[in-house]
Structure 1
Amino acid sequence: MLLLAVWVAGVLVYQLPGPGWLGKAVAIAWLLAAVAAAWQVARGRVRRWLGVGYLLALGAAALGWFSLQPRQDRVWADDVGQRLHVTAFDGRHVVLDNVRDFHWRTEQDYDVRWVRRSYDLDQLRSADLVMSYWMGPAIAHTLISFGFDDGRHLVFSVEIRKERGESFSALGGFFRQFEMTLVAAEETDIIRTRTNARGEDVYLYRLQGMTRPQLKALFASYLQEARLLDAKPAFYNTLTSNCTTIIFDLARQIAPGLPLDYRLLLSGYLAGYAHDLGVLVPGYSLQQLQAAGHINARARALPGDAGFSTAIRQGIPGTEQDPQ
């Protein structure tokens, strides 16, 4: 009874129409009533009206929950204002609309720029795991950066599609507060804003052991995810549909035997999971890879965008032969 009551309280806080204080007040009143009812049940004082009232409340909450539908037409924040669109893809050549290429001076001061980009997947040469820490050691935002023979990089990032003025809430992510979006961006945008504008701790690791066909298949999986979200919106979920679990689902399409692990939920430890699987550069301890992969100082030392991708990879094992 109490677990269900907590879930209903969350629905009330994050989904009840009206001002925020109203949802919180109703949720508190509901929890007090649920605790009192549970106490009566525990003492053997079961009343029919109590059970009927409780079931009606649960039914109303469930009805409201399943009536929630993700949307594409909200007033979105600038950095998620456009949906990634796969304009053309023949298995090798891909054209993407709405690749993000913002120039960030601060979190609030930036130039909005959405661009069209074309890539030849036969020129794929690398994939890097990028982890950005903003909430302690256990939680990180995870991104995948694909590198090409011509020195270009494209980063994919699963994020909440927040509305203008809205901010992330891990709890709200359990209660359908946010839609989900897939951002494709230049490294000078999506990585540099984290190292320079936001001051998050960012680590980059070269992924090993994938053939070029596997790299192409992983890239194509992101394209498929982009097409699905472009055609039909979906809710972000803190537990089941977040930046780390989506990467795992995509990777499992390439390697179905990947084991489940608690570090898929505690995303800050994902690099340790990758190290244990042997997909990071061999011959180095995790601590050595972390020390070499901390890119903040190199990112901040660069005066402009030119050479950013090369500069942040200096000294990172596995990146020595990358094109300049």
Structure 2
Amino acid sequence: MNRMGKWIKTILMGLTLLGTTLWGAFAVYFGDSGNGIAQTAVALVFLLCGLATLICLGFPHWRPRVLPAYAILFGSILTWWVLIRPSNERLWQPDVAKLAYATFNGDKITVHNIRNFAYRSEFDYQPAYYTKTYDLNRLEGMDLIAVYWMGPAIAHTILSFCFGGNEHLAVSIEARKEQNEGYSTIKGFFRQFELIYIVADERDVIRLRTNYRKDPPEQVYLYRLQGPLENARRLFLEYMRKINALNVEPEFYNTLLDNCTTVIWLNTRINPEHLPFSWKILLSGYLPEYLYEFHRLDSRIPFSELQQRAHINSRAQAADLASDFSTRIRVPIR
């Protein structure tokens, strides 16, 4: 039993070493929005030191020498990691160059830098923004937009606030990328991207995904959310406050913890009836099904039928540049 206990202890130490070594190497390589030659070299050295320490676990007389040295090295990396700060002062890609912000006058909220690009293709567009005032008393509800491109488990989620008729304001929570920087799920774990709330006209964020993204093509579903209007109003105000806060104190995007869907859930905690956390929030493609189970979507029909009705690609492609785009994508084609 004593020997077995030692083996279990060694295995646990080995797994811990392997995990911290891989995390530390990736953290240095990707951290602080860059991976230059110096960072690459340090990451490689730490990786080799970690692997050497792992090997030394098999030699008990070496452990007291190498483990403290490894702990100091890892502690240094962890300290550096904690001290990395997000910034709004980088050379951003044009589609995320401007941050939205809101000003308040009673129940009237004026939203600035609402994105409404004119697209010729996914990467060829004319930037355009506008400012609009919304009356909180006219807020009629919210829609959830779920965008799929890699199977049923993962989706990009967007909230859109309806102020009556064709008046919709969409908010897409994304990774803010610098020029010549592509999105990477792995990089998203390592403080490589800042967090941005893209506040946009639906003709921008929806039409981009239905009409212009082809590699891979994206499938877009629009669901009307059910619930008290007071909840929608509180959530809209929380979004506006958060948008303003990010202008002052930027935050990092995180693939798992601070992404398009988890941040929506975090914001909904402003409401007393918010949903409990679920793995279906982490696997965001199942979020509509999760909402359906809690009657936050229309539950009078089977979910499969609701999902079929929610698919809007053909409607968005038909509406294209129409000024009443938001109205048209909500009317089923017969």
Secondary structure of 2:161's match?
strand
1:238 and 2:255 correspond = yes
Output the TM-score relative to the length of structure 1. Answer: 0.90
Output the TM-score relative to the length of structure 2. Answer: 0.88
1:315 Cα offset (Å): 2.9
- Contact 1:16 1:23 (8 Å CA) reproduced: no
Please name the residue that 2:125 is paired with. Answer: 110
Match of 1:163 among 174, 178, 189: 178
Secondary structure of 2:160's match?
strand
Q: Which deviates the most, 274-283 or 37-46?
A: 37-46
1:91 Cα offset (Å): 4.1
Q: Distance in 2 between matches of 1:302 and 1:257?
A: 34
Q: Distance in 2 between matches of 1:106 and 1:16?
A: 31
**Which letter does structure 2 place at the counterpart of 1:153?**
H
1:114 Cα offset (Å): 1.4
Match of 2:91 among 58, 75, 84: 75
**Which letter does structure 2 place at the counterpart of 1:200?**
E
The 1:315/1:170 distance shift into structure 2, 3 A limit, reads same
1:217 Cα offset (Å): 0.9
Match of 2:203 among 188, 194, 198: 188
1:22 Cα offset (Å): 6.3
Q: Which deviates the most, 303-312 or 235-244?
A: 303-312
Please name the residue that 2:101 is paired with. Answer: 85
Q: Which deviates the most, 13-22 or 276-285?
A: 13-22
1:304 Cα offset (Å): 2.1
Please name the residue that 1:321 is paired with. Answer: none
* Structure 1: unaligned runs, 5 residues or longer: 317-324
Secondary structure of 2:140's match?
strand
Q: Distance in 2 between matches of 1:257 and 1:78?
A: 35
Match of 1:143 among 158, 165, 171: 158
Please name the residue that 1:53 is paired with. Answer: 69
Aligned residues: 314
- Contact 2:153 2:284 (8 Å CA) reproduced: yes
Q: Which deviates the most, 195-204 or 299-308?
A: 299-308
1:282 and 2:299 correspond = yes
Please name the residue that 1:126 is paired with. Answer: 141
The 1:221/1:18 distance shift into structure 2, 3 A limit, reads closer
Please name the residue that 2:28 is paired with. Answer: 12
1:37 Cα offset (Å): 1.6
CA RMSD after TM alignment? 2.0
1:3 Cα offset (Å): 1.3
1:49 Cα offset (Å): 3.1
Please name the residue that 1:255 is paired with. Answer: 272
The 1:216/1:169 distance shift into structure 2, 3 A limit, reads same
The 1:305/1:29 distance shift into structure 2, 3 A limit, reads farther
The 5 Å alignment of 1:172-321 reads 172-198=187-213, 199-210=217-228, 212-256=229-273, 258-315=275-332
- Contact 2:268 2:274 (8 Å CA) reproduced: no
1:167 Cα offset (Å): 1.3
Secondary structure of 1:282's match?
coil
- Contact 2:56 2:66 (8 Å CA) reproduced: no
- Contact 1:95 1:117 (8 Å CA) reproduced: yes
Q: Distance in 1 between matches of 2:255 and 2:34?
A: 24
Q: Distance in 1 between matches of 2:173 and 2:243?
A: 10
**Which letter does structure 1 place at the counterpart of 2:324?**
G
Q: Distance in 1 between matches of 2:33 and 2:269?
A: 39
The 1:18/1:273 distance shift into structure 2, 3 A limit, reads closer
1:20 Cα offset (Å): 5.2
| Greater C-alpha radius of gyration | 2
Secondary structure of 1:255's match?
coil
What do the CA deviations read for 1:146-190 (whole angstroms, capped 9, x no partner)? 111242100011111111111111111111001111111000001
The 1:17/1:128 distance shift into structure 2, 3 A limit, reads closer
The 1:239/1:226 distance shift into structure 2, 3 A limit, reads same
- Contact 2:34 2:192 (8 Å CA) reproduced: no
The 1:18/1:38 distance shift into structure 2, 3 A limit, reads same
* Structure 2: unaligned runs, 5 residues or longer: 1-16
1:36 Cα offset (Å): 3.2
Indicate the percent of aligned positions where both proteins have the same amino acid.
39
1:17 Cα offset (Å): 8.8
- Contact 1:143 1:156 (8 Å CA) reproduced: yes
What do the CA deviations read for 1:70-129 (whole angstroms, capped 9, x no partner)? 11110111111111111x213410111111111112112111011111111111112100
1:29 Cα offset (Å): 4.9
Moved beyond 4 Å, runs of 4+ = 16-26
Please name the residue that 2:4 is paired with. Answer: none
Match of 1:33 among 32, 37, 49: 49
